[in-house]
Amino acid sequence: MGLSEEIISEFNKAFQKARIAGEAEPTAMVLATSDCGGLVTSRTVLLKALDENGFVFFTNTCSTKGRQLDACPRAAATFLWKASGCQVQLVGTVARVSDEAADAYFSTRDRGSQIGAWASDQSAALESREALIARVREFEEKYEGREVPRPPHWTGFV
């Protein structure tokens, strides 16, 4: 079951009100996920799309949130828009977006973000800043002069 036009319309009204009120990052939402044992974690992610299928965000599937959503596909999210005095809470099941949808969104990201998706071992301890810079350079060289494909570990959830 998708989202009704009424829900989408009401969210969009609140979202526009937040933007007009000067909310610094109106697409930011706190996303709570859990492992199948019930241990909950939360973090801020950015809403990238909203349609009849739901609220869409993108992530590295090797991250804590990606692993949790694959194993236990339920989540809650909260938008807190202090500038407009509004808060929106969501709860429900999630699913991966299609590869086509993930590819389409990935292609709109700036090249640095695309390279970063390959270079970053999200949620893993960083060996050193120098090691990350070396990985970025490695992928910059690998994809020099050509389009950066979407990594297989990077997708969206709705």
23: domain CATH number is 2.30.110.10
Pair 66, 59: CB distance under 8 Å: yes
Position 135 scores a pLDDT of 86
The answer to whether position 138 is within a domain reads no
Closest of 79, 89, 91 to residue 21, by C-alpha: 79
The answer to whether position 136 is within a domain reads no
DSSP 72: S
Position 14 scores a pLDDT of 98
Position 53 scores a pLDDT of 94
Strands across the sheet with 40-46, in order?
40-46, 28-34, 74-81, 86-93
Q: pTM here?
A: 0.88
Domain range for residue 48?
5-109+149-157
Q: Count of domains in the chain?
A: 1
pLDDT in tens, the chain (158 residues): 589 999 999 999 999 999 999 999 999 999 999 999 999 999 999 999 999 999 999 999 999 999 999 999 999 999 999 999 999 999 999 999 999 999 999 999 999 999 999 998 776 677 788 988 998 999 999 999 999 999 999 999 99
Closest of 79, 73, 91 to residue 34, by C-alpha: 73
